[in-house]
């Protein structure tokens, strides 16, 4: 049996921030924000366009009680908005269900929206798809746009780009922003068709004209980054500002990142903090992550590790892997919170399950050292092997220093 001099375990303690605009699209995890779920503005549009009266009408209540589906839908909208009554999504969903059961397509679409978003009912993509399908079959364009979105992402229904294209075109004929937005995304990402940025911009502009804030964000990021269009920073900022002024958290985040990284040639940290904070106020996860990084490093704000931890944790609870890794790091080293190896292990595990190679490396170290868990070198080596395959240098070093030698010794 060969013996060898023990080698040092390579560890690291640094937090991680996004290295690019926080784009969660089908190509990259770095860049401006892009919707991973392609468009649900149709539901928001009909809710805005159908704003009911500011007070409950006794006649409306009586008509709804007697089974008038239109009255039931209007009453559901009042509860969904909280107009004239205390907002109550569960009651809104109840009235939408009663109206939908009669076959009223508008109510079926709204009930599908409630299931899709988990408002007043448990979130259920399959039920949402069934109600959208029923309304779409009756020619409801909002439902057609929503169903197209589901077929693009394969949520609640099989992925079917040709069908999504057909549904989106049908909705777009009625100038429904959701259908137009979906067409813009289909052409941008080449979903079942060859990528066509000219068509993409055309449809995004139509959607933006009809009220889609997400389309404005897409146009803004495309022009700022030169993604498929000639780079035009001022035009991009114009689109982003128009969405931000309407309260879009994605646009607010993107403006924050633009100033954070000096998109116009000069970093403007106060502006970055301003826009990140506005997005954080709407619980936008990537803004929580990047603003947390600014508090951790003292960039544009007074350094505050406790506040950084709170922001990282808020983002981690939304499932953002980088934030989950940062929370694990904070617990492992007692940065901004009390040291807790078991909690560190849990958060590293969550990030590792999403394929975060840095978290896999750190989790491997905890298993190797037996911190927060019974020491398990086989598990450590397995994690380092995954991380090394993704290019993590520290994982590669630990794999070479410990795991290969261990195998040779056996």
**Residue 264 falls within a domain, yes or no?**
no
Q: Based on the domain organization, do 44 and 176 belong to the same domain?
A: yes
Number of domains in the chain: 2
**Residue 255 falls within a domain, yes or no?**
no
- Asked whether 17 and 27 are in contact (CB, 8 A), the reply is no
Tell the burial category of 181 from Cβ atoms under 10 Å away from its Cβ (0-12, 13-18, 19+).
buried
- Asked whether 33 and 254 are in contact (CB, 8 A), the reply is yes
Q: What is the pLDDT of residue 54?
A: 52
State whether the Cα torsion 189-194-197-201 is positive or negative: negative
Q: What DSSP line would sit under 121-132, residue for residue?
A: S---HHHHHHHH
Q: Based on the domain organization, do 324 and 198 belong to the same domain?
A: no
Q: Based on the domain organization, do 176 and 316 belong to the same domain?
A: no
Which residues, 6 or more positions from 80, have their beta carbon under 8 angstroms from its beta carbon? 47, 87, 89, 92, 110, 119, 120
Give the pTM.
Answer: 0.83
**Residue 242 falls within a domain, yes or no?**
no
Final residue of a structural domain among 211, 233, 268: 211
**Residue 90 falls within a domain, yes or no?**
yes
Q: Three-state DSSP class for 31?
A: strand
User: HEC profile for 147-199?
Assistant: HHHHHHHCCCCCCCHHHHHHHHHHHHCCCCHHHHHHHHHHHHHCCCCCCCHHH
Q: List the one residue out of 220, 165, 229, 162 whose CA is nearest residue 196.
A: 229
**Residue 216 falls within a domain, yes or no?**
no
- Asked whether 155 and 37 are in contact (CB, 8 A), the reply is yes
Q: Based on the domain organization, do 317 and 205 belong to the same domain?
A: no
Final residue of a structural domain among 180, 211, 242: 211
Q: What is the pLDDT of residue 16?
A: 46
Profile the chain (410 residues) by mean pLDDT over runs of 10 residues.
33 39 30 35 46 68 94 94 92 98 97 96 97 98 97 96 98 96 97 96 97 96 93 96 96 96 87 98 96 95 96 97 96 96 98 96 96 96 96 93 60
Final residue of a structural domain among 211, 238, 266: 211
**Residue 359 falls within a domain, yes or no?**
yes
Query: Residue 104's domain is classified under what CATH number?
Result: 1.25.40.10
Which residues, 6 or more positions from 226, have their beta carbon under 8 angstroms from its beta carbon? none
**Residue 285 falls within a domain, yes or no?**
no
Q: List the one residue out of 87, 90, 111 whose CA is nearest residue 99.
A: 111
Residue with tokens 């909002």: 142
Q: Based on the domain organization, do 78 and 207 belong to the same domain?
A: yes
d(CA 404, CA 77): 64
Q: Based on the domain organization, do 48 and 197 belong to the same domain?
A: yes
First-last CA distance in the chain: 8
State whether the Cα torsion 189-191-196-201 is positive or negative: negative
Domain that holds residue 371: 304-410
**Residue 1 falls within a domain, yes or no?**
no
């Amino acid at each position: 049996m060969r013996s060898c001099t023990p080698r040092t375990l390579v560890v690291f303690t640094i937090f991680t921030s996004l290295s690019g605009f926080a784009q969660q699209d089908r190509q990259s995890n770095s860049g401006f924000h892009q919707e991973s779920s392609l468009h649900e503005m149709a539901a928001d549009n009909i809710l805005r366009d159908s704003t009911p009266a500011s007070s409950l009408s006794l006649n409306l209540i009586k008509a709804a009680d007697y089974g008038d589906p239109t009255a039931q839908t209007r009453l559901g909208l009042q509860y969904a908005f909280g107009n004239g009554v205390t907002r109550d999504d569960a009651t809104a969903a109840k009235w939408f269900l009663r109206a939908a059961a009669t076959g009223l397509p508008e109510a079926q679409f709204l009930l599908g929206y409630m299931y899709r978003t988990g408002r007043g009912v448990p979130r259920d993509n399959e039920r949402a798809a069934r109600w959208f399908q029923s309304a779409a079959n009756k020619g409801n364009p909002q439902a057609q746009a929503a169903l197209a979105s589901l077929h693009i992402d394969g949520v609640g229904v099989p992925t079917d780009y040709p069908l999504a294209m057909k549904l989106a075109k049908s909705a777009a004929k009625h100038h429904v922003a959701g259908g137009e937005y979906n067409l813009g995304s289909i052409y941008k990402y080449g979903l079942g068709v060859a990528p066509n940025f000219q068509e993409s911009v055309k449809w995004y502009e139509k959607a933006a004209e009809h009220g889609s804030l997400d389309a404005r964000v897409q146009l803004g990021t495309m022009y700022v980054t030169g993604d498929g269009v000639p780079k035009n920073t001022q035009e991009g900022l114009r689109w982003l500002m128009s969405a931000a002024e309407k309260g879009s958290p994605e646009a607010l985040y993107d403006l924050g990142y633009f100033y954070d990284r000096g998109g116009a040639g000069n970093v403007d940290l106060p502006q970055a903090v301003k826009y990140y904070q506005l997005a954080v106020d709407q619980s936008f996860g990537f803004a929580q992550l990047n603003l947390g990084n600014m508090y951790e490093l003292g960039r544009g704000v007074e350094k505050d590790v406790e506040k950084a931890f709170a922001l990282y944790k808020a983002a981690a609870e939304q499932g953002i892997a980088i934030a989950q890794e940062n929370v694990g790091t904070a617990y492992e080293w007692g940065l901004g919170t009390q040291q807790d190896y078991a909690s560190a292990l849990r958060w590293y595990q969550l990030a590792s399950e999403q394929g975060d190679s840095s978290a896999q490396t750190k989790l491997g170290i905890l298993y190797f050292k037996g911190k927060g868990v019974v020491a398990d070198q086989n598990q450590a080596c397995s994690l380092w092997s995954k991380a090394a395959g993704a290019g993590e240098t520290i994982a590669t070093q630990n794999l070479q220093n410990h795991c290969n030698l261990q195998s040779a010794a056996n």
